[in-house]
Copies of this chain bind each other. A is one copy, B any other.
Amino acid sequence: MAEDTRTRILDTAERLFADRGFYGVSIAAIATEIDLTKQALLHHFGSKEKLYGEVLKRISQRFELDLSKAQPSGDDPVERLVASLLHLQTRNTDQPNVIHLLMRELLDNKRRADTVGTWYLEPFLERLTCMVAATPKYNDATLEEAFAATYQLLGAINYFGVSQPTLTGIYGERFYAKIEADFPQQLEALIRSAVAP
Contacts and interface: CB of A to CB of B under 8 A. Distances in A.
A99 to B, nearest CB: 10
**Chain copies in the assembly?**
2
Interface stretch (A5-13, A19-27, A39-47, A68-76): A19-27
A114 to B, nearest CB: 5
Interface in A1-59: 19-24
Interface in A127-165: 144-145, 147-149, 151-160, 162-163, 165
A148 B183 contact: yes
A111 B152 contact: no
A67 interface: no
Contacts of A196: 193
A62 interface: no
Contacts of A183: 148
A109 interface: yes
